[in-house]
Chain A
Amino acid sequence: MRIATAMKGLHYVLHAPQGDTYADLLFTMIERRDARPPVTYTTFQARDLGGDTAELFKTSAREAYERFQPEAMIVGASCTAELIQDDPAGLARALKLPIPVIALDLPSYQKKENWGAAETFYQLVRTFAAKVDGAPARTPGPRPRCNILGPTALGFRHRDDVVEVTRLLGQLGVDVNVVAPLNARPSDLSRLPDADFNVVLYAEIADVAARWLEKNHGQKIIRTVPIGHNATKDFIAEIAAITGVDPAHVLADANARMPWWSRSVDSNYLTGKRVFIFGDATHAVAAARVASEELGFEVVGLGTYSREFARDVRAAAEKLGLTALVTDDYLEVEKAIAELQPELVLGTQMERHIAKRLGVGCAVISAPAHVQDYPARFSPQMGFEGANVLFDTWVHPLVMGLEEHLLAMFREDFEFNDGAGASHLAAHQPAPSPAPAPISAPIASELIWSREAEAELTKIPFFVRGKARRNTERFATEQGLAVIKIETLYDAKSHYAR
């Protein structure tokens, strides 16, 4: 789905029950997409099972073709549909639609989502970028040319990474031929061979496809992921090496502020901060390097949920003297974090919840992510600007320089203790202490809260309770009431609703 939604002119017909349509809202809400994903679900029901779910699939596919007129269609089955064994591939073929129809056979009970996305992209590339005998693959041109592979819908900062990497390549004098799958049409995929090499930004998505292109069209693969200052330099050097361009002026980019920010004295307090890292392989490995080499953190744990790329993560962990945690069970991750007691967690949405529960600062570095991780502003992870962004976002959740010392000096201060978290982050403060100031001490001292009204007030969510209380007391004073009863509370609510 992330591939289909990323692309244009492609439609996905998915044999799935109605509840699975919740997947749409991941795109329309979390990523704030302004169009529905190009997916038709058959939404078969129990009563269809005895009858003809195959016919239902055919109707859905035919109607989707007529309505959306895509350049190409992919068809597949969700976990449940796989169990009823309708063979979407065969059914779609039988329809004889006048466009390429690619059947996905994703054994959902064995493989995970990233694998499914990679396989989908590979199938599409194979179909559209097949070798044409005799045709020269690459049209000649003065500048080196490459494709950027891997960015998808719902990807973590993929939109901005593509912009940043394209800019970097432009500075180097390298043209970008096709970016895919994000915003590519199936017809764009047929132009893939018309480039000298491929830049794989997210191996989880594009590695299989890039390898196929290497084998069939002789395109080299750039695998260095430019996340972090040093990795960006390596990336530039690698491109310079295969294209022969001069990288010097690009390496001297004045906007690369991260090294100085990290060396400046204020950053001394970052030294040896204990950090736990978990995410997809691409981001976890990159984060480990940035954290240890470029920020001077101590990486105390490193892990991934991407089993297909576990080897890379294990290797990175070994270099840091660690054993990688490879799992998709968040309870295991939680246990590891609780044991290691890091000061900062770099993870996905799940680790953010865990960190919050444990009262540890957290920055998100990888999908799956939540709506606030799809910012309006330009906020890449890659390139020199990406490194700047990493510095800012990872340092933000930590207790700031001098404040840290004050904490040590005044541990007893009730509103300024180490349990309170960083003072500039209200959202990271633990829940208010279990015994809040007695509610019965009203603002206007002559008012009395009846016991029932007071009890009622505690049922109102804490974040609006203060307002409810103030309004009620104001209302009672205006009305000349001495005692606040439950009725007063609701009368006030209705009064202020007007």
Chain B
Amino acid sequence: MLRERGQREVFCGLTGIVWLHRKIQDAFFLVVGSRTCAHLIQSAAGVMVFAEPRFATAIMEEKDLAGLADANEELDRVVDRLLERRPDIKLLFLVGSCPSEVIKLDLSRAAQRLSAKHQPGVRVLNYSGSGIETTFTQGEDACLAALVPEAPKADSNTAPSLLVVGALPDIVEDQFRRLFTELGIPRVDFFPPRKSGEIAAVGPNTRMLIAQPFLGDTARALAARGANRLPALFPFGAEGTTHWLKAAADAWSIPEMDFRRIVAPHRERAKRALARSRETLEGLSVFFFPDSQLEPPLARFLAEELGMRPVEIGTPYLNRDLLSEELKRLPAQARLSEGQDVDKQLDRCRADKPDLVVCGLGLANPLEAAGMTTKWSIELVFSPVHGFDQAGDLAALFARPFARRALLKV
């Protein structure tokens, strides 16, 4: 296991807004930051999202830096104007950035103040998506952790319920919901909910399945509210999804026979869908640059179900607790690296000569130009990849660069 601290080539947590703002339909994300921040989320998101986005940046100008009082006043003004223009907003996140943190602008105080001012119609919360605190997907973790205190309390008399934690595409949520119903788990909630008013109650009888490996803080916050985490693999591929569902089935004491009967057709279907990509990928080596923390579970999926050989599995941060099941199943010869020193990592990558490099957009074209085959990691975060019925799609994302290479005669 390699721990590195050098130049990182990853997004900051603000990027999470790109998908979060579509998930919670009545929430709005207001970044309190600089022009760089505005530019980042505009170029990362503005390019992809054509509807009027539910995010914006309150740009801090020089005068705001001079006095915190001014900055707070300015923020209040921006929020007033925003809420007036968008009465559909029920939940407003103030999102901290590097500059707001460096000048120690207290956004939690601001959120309290604004909440009091705009109640009861609007709740104002805050979290940090800054690049000095958070890496890419950690922005979602910070956002969801900030949302936990909003969950109503469930007491110990409440019937046991299942809470699936992590922002999933709606279609994937629906698939999981159907599976849980089939298995006979009566009450299933998703966190975050699609509407801010529908946050599930959390208490000692809440059992949670974590759907994303980067949700450490959220899991801890929910545990502090009494929820019990069901340790499992993450639901990638046929095996990961089976294991993940089984954790819930066991918690509800669903008989093994029933579980198998119900899950088998889905699992078989997933396996069939994987077959074609496996023909392409089997035996090939893969090198992960750190990006989203999805790297260890994805490496496990590629190794176990597609026969690939991970040489380096880079992750911005290794959450040993949430990944306990995953780490047991990673191939022993794979090099695990946490953090980054991008130039050194590029040296290792060139020396390893992997068949496939999974990396961010800043590195992909330069590596392709140097003759490597690459897969942009960001696509793994921006497309539905969880569960049985997406297993084939997930595998196909890794196979496509090879299919394209085979096709091109230029």
Q: Hey, which bits of chain A sit against chain B, CB under 8 A?
A: 17-22, 24-26, 28-29, 32-36, 40-46, 48-49, 60, 63, 67, 78-80, 83-84, 108-110, 112, 349-350, 353, 356-357, 370, 456, 459-460, 486-487, 490-491, 493-495, 497-498
Cα–Cα distance between A349 and B15 once the two chains are bound (Å): 20
Whether B272 pairs with A357 at a CB distance below 8 angstroms is no
Instruction: Choose among B9, B35, B44, B171 the residue that contacts A79 (Cβ–Cβ < 8 A).
Output: B35
**Contact bitstring B1-44, A, C-beta under 8 A = 1, else 0:** 00000111111111100000000000000000011110010011
In the bound complex, residues from chain A placing their C-beta under 8 Å from that of B15 are: 19
Question: Do B102 and A493 touch across chains, with their CB atoms under 8 A apart?
Answer: no
In whole angstroms, how far apart are the Cα atoms of A112 and B13 in the complex? 24
- Contacts of B46 on A, CB cut-off 8 Å? 350, 353
- Which 5 pairs from chain A and chain B are nearest by CB? A19-B12, A19-B131, A34-B369, A24-B362, A17-B131
Can you list 14 A-B pairs with a CB-CB distance of less than 8 A?
A18-B132, A19-B13, A19-B37, A21-B7, A22-B43, A28-B363, A32-B365, A36-B363, A80-B97, A80-B131, A490-B389, A494-B392, A498-B273, A498-B276
Chain A: minimal CB distance from B324 (Å): 25
1/0 contact trace for B255-291 toward A, CB 8 Å? 0000000000100011011011000000000000000
Are A28's CB and B132's CB within 8 A? no
With A42-B7, A109-B65, A110-B62 known to touch, is A34 a contact of B365 (CB < 8 Å)?
yes
Q: How far is the CB of A465 from chain B (nearest CB, A)?
A: 12
The answer to whether B396 and A497 touch across the interface, beta carbons within 8 angstroms, is yes
Count chain B CB atoms within 10 A of each CB in A34, A48, A79, A491 and give the residue with the most: A79
Q: Which residues of B contact A19 (CB under 8 A)?
A: 10-15, 36-37, 40, 98, 130-131
- A17, A108, A350: the one within 8 Å of B12 (CB): A17
Query: What residues of chain A lie closer than 8 Å to B37, measured between beta carbons?
Result: 19
Evaluate contact between B366 and A28: CB separation under 8 angstroms: yes
* Contact in complex: B135, A18 (CB < 8 Å): yes
Within B143-181, the residues touching A (CB, 8 Å) are 170-171, 174, 178
Contacts of B99 in A (CB 8 A): 79-80, 83
- The residue in chain A whose Cβ has the minimal distance to the Cβ of B362 is A24
A contact residues around B65 at 8 Å (CB): 83, 109
* Contacting pair A36 B362 (CB below 8 A): yes
Are B102 and A49 in contact, with the CB atoms below 8 A?
A: yes
A28-B365, A29-B365 are known contacts. Are A497 and B9 too (CB-CB below 8 A)? no
Cβ contact within 8 Å between A79 and B34: yes
Per-residue CB proximity of B334-351 to A under 8 Å, as 1/0? 000000000100000000
CA distance A36 to B365 in the complex (A): 8
Q: Provide the residues of chain B in CB contact with A78, threshold 8 Å.
A: 36
Q: Give chain B residues whose Cβ lies under 8 Å from the Cβ of A49.
A: 102, 132
- B contact residues around A370 at 8 Å (CB): 47
Chain B min CB distance to A13 (Å): 10
Provided the pairs A29-B361, A80-B98, A83-B65 are in contact, do residues A494 and B272 lie with their beta carbons within 8 angstroms? yes
B34 and A28: CB pair below 8 A?
no
Determine the chain B residues whose CB is within 8 A of the CB of A460 once the complex forms: 171
Contact between chains at A67 and B101 (CB < 8 Å): no
Q: Which residues in window 102-149 of B have CB below 8 A to A?
A: 102-103, 130-133, 135
CB distance from B399 to the nearest CB of A (A): 11
* Chain A residues in 8 Å Cβ range of B35: 79, 108, 112
Tell me the nearest residue of chain A to B56, going by C-beta.
A331
Point out the residues of chain B lying under 8 angstroms from A356, CB to CB: 50
Give Cα distance in the complex from A15 to B362, angstroms. 18
Q: A497-B273, A498-B276 are in contact. Are A18 and B174 (CB under 8 A)?
A: no
Q: Smallest distance from the beta carbon of B63 to chain A beta carbons, Å?
A: 9
Task: List CB contacts (< 8 Å) of B344-382 with chain A.
Answer: 360-366, 368-369
**Whole-angstrom distance between the alpha carbons of A107 and B7 in the complex?**
24
What A residues does B40 contact at CB under 8 A? 19-20, 22
From residue B20, how far is it (CB to closest CB) to chain A in Å? Answer: 16
Given A26-B43, A28-B362, A80-B34, check contact A40 B132 (CB 8 Å). no
Are B132 and A459 in contact, with the CB atoms below 8 A? no
- Considering the chains assembled together, what is the distance between the CA atoms of A493 and B392 in angstroms? 9
**Could you tell me if A109 and B366 are in contact, using CB atoms closer than 8 angstroms?**
no
B250 within 8 A of A: no
Within the assembled complex, what's the spacing in Å between the Cα atoms of A34 and B362?
Answer: 10
Q: Distance in Å from the Cβ of B73 to the closest Cβ of chain A?
A: 18
Q: List chain B residues, Cβ under 8 A from A67.
A: 343
Q: Collect the chain A residues with CB atoms within 8 Å of residue B276's CB.
A: 497-498
- How distant is B71 from chain A, measured CB to nearest CB, in Å? 12
- Please state if A17 and B44 are interface contacts (CB–CB under 8 Å): no
**Residues of chain B within 8 A of A353, CB atoms compared:** 46, 50
Contact of A34 with B366 in the complex, beta carbons under 8 Å: yes
Q: Are B44 and A35 in contact, CB atoms less than 8 angstroms apart?
A: no
In the bound complex, residues from chain A placing their C-beta under 8 Å from that of B343 are 63, 67
Contact B131 A33 (CB under 8 A): no
> A456–B14 Cα gap in the complex (Å)?
31
Q: Which residue of the partner chain, among A84, A110, A493, contacts B389 with CB atoms under 8 Å? A: A493
- Sample of 9 more A-B contacts, CB < 8 Å, known A19-B15, A22-B44: A18-B132, A19-B131, A22-B43, A25-B360, A48-B132, A80-B131, A110-B62, A494-B269, A498-B273
Q: Once bound together, how far apart are the Cα atoms of A29 and B374, in whole Å?
A: 13
Query: Across the two chains, which residue of chain B brings its CB closest to A460?
Result: B171
Q: Is the CB of A83 within 8 A of B102?
A: yes
Distance in Å: Cβ of B184 to nearest Cβ of chain A: 18
Min Cβ gap B81→A in Å is 11
Q: Which residues from chain A contact B392 at a C-beta distance below 8 Å?
A: 493-494, 497
Among residues of B, the one whose C-beta sits closest to the C-beta of A37 is B362
Interface string of B378-407 (1 = CB under 8 A from A): 000000000001001100100000000000
Docked Cα-Cα span, A428 to B170, in Å, equals 28
The answer to whether residues A60 and B7 also contact, given A36-B362, A109-B65, A497-B276 and a CB cut-off of 8 A, is yes
Collect the chain B residues with CB atoms within 8 Å of residue A29's CB. Answer: 361-362, 364-365
Pair B133/A46 contact, Cβ less than 8 Å: yes
Given contacts A78-B36, A79-B99, A494-B392, contact A21 B366 (CB under 8 A): no
- Is the pair A17, B98 in contact by a Cβ cutoff of 8 Å? yes
Write out the residue numbers on chain B whose beta carbons fall within 8 Å of the beta carbon of A40. Answer: 7
Q: How far apart are the CA atoms of A45 and B138 in the complex, in Å?
A: 14
Q: Which residues of B contact A20 (CB under 8 A)?
A: 12, 36, 40, 131
Residue ID in chain B nearest A19 by CB atoms: B12
Query: Does B321 have its Cβ within 8 Å of any Cβ on chain A?
Result: no
When distances are taken between beta carbons in the complex, the residues of chain A under 8 Å from B365 are 28-29, 32-34
